Amino acid sequence: MLNTDSAQKFLFEALDVRGVIVHLTQSYQQILKQHNYPPIVQRYLGEVLVAAALLVETIKLNGRMTIQFQSEGAIQLLVAQINSEGHLRGLAQWDPDATDEALSGGFGKGELVITIFQKGFERPMQGIVSLENRTISEALTFYFLQSEQLPTTFSLAVTDQYAVGMLLQLMPEEKSDDHQKSWELISKRVREINPSEIFYDNNASFLAYYFPDELIRLFDAHELIFQCGCSIEKMENAIAVLGEAEANLIIKEKSEIVVTCEYCNHQYGFDREAVEAIFRKH
């Protein structure tokens, strides 16, 4: 039976190298159904969704994490957000007039922004690195070297049916010469793997096949699901931010304010009475 919609951590016992394998199928398909993305944009979004699910396994999260690629190129914005319950959502923005060749060119000048919102903390933690025409995997690797000083490698694969990925990372306390050499050998092996082969019968078989000489401890996998998290309360807050004067003007012209969630495309309608009730509360 194939892995579906899960994240599973593992550890190379003798090397102190940790890793994560992520599989997205149903959740990936549900996210794609929310918008009419071109195939190339779907692939980029799939990579970012997998990346978010991989990265969240490297931190102690009690809240949510957002990965955002913003660029001046044809792919203008990629966002993936995941919370500590494994609820995942994402979106993409692109130049609708761009050719397939331009879209395939990826990012121009831009930034990778990773933001972590921990419950109980007033301000989020944020890291930013320049894209510099890097691929998603290259940008994430550079982020860890710049922000965390942790050697990290990524392998990502996306089709129209599934998105998968693997992260390997040298644990922070292990930076001796021997561990560095072992890390270089392991990361070289990962680079030689066809990323699509990560979608294997099961993670244990995959790891045993590609790392037959290593003692690997697999931890319990946990489920990943698509869940947007939008609500009528959040849309009411958006109208409140709009301001009463502007809201009343829209009601006068259109008799209703329609707010669309940018993630799941669900529309929330508010008539005059609903808008008046919002501003009585705010």
Q: Which domains does the chain have, with CATH numbers?
A: 6-226 (3.55.30.10), 232-281 (3.90.1280.10)
pLDDT tens readout for residues 27-80: 999 999 999 999 999 999 999 999 999 999 998 889 999 999 999 889 999 999
Is the backbone of residue 167 left (phi > 0), alpha (psi -120 to 50) or beta?
beta
Pairing state of beta strands 152-158 and 75-83? unpaired
Question: What separation in angstroms does the CA of 15 have from each of 59, 154, 176, 177, 217?
Answer: 20, 18, 11, 12, 12
Mean pLDDT of 150-178: 84
Each residue of 100-146: pLDDT tens digit?
A: 898 888 787 899 999 999 998 889 999 999 988 788 999 999 998 88
What per-residue confidence (pLDDT) applies to 133?
75
Query: CB atoms < 10 A from the CB of 71, how many?
Result: 20
In this model, does residue 1 exceed pLDDT 80? no
Higher pLDDT, 258 or 133: 258
Beta carbons within 8 Å of 279's beta carbon, 6+ residues apart: 240, 244, 247
Q: What is the pLDDT of residue 83?
A: 95
Determine the Cα–Cα distance for residues 53 and 38; give it in Å rounded to an integer: 23
**Cα–Cα–Cα angle for 154, 175, 11, nearest 5°?**
50
**DSSP label at residue 30:** H
- What's the confidence (pLDDT) of residue 183? 83
- Whether the model clears a pTM of 0.85, i.e. scores above it, the answer is yes
User: Which whole number is the average pLDDT over 215-231?
Assistant: 94
Residue holding tokens 């919002």?
278
pLDDT band per the 50, 70, 90 thresholds, residue 269: very high
Alpha carbons within 13 angstroms on the beta-carbon side of residue 181 total 3
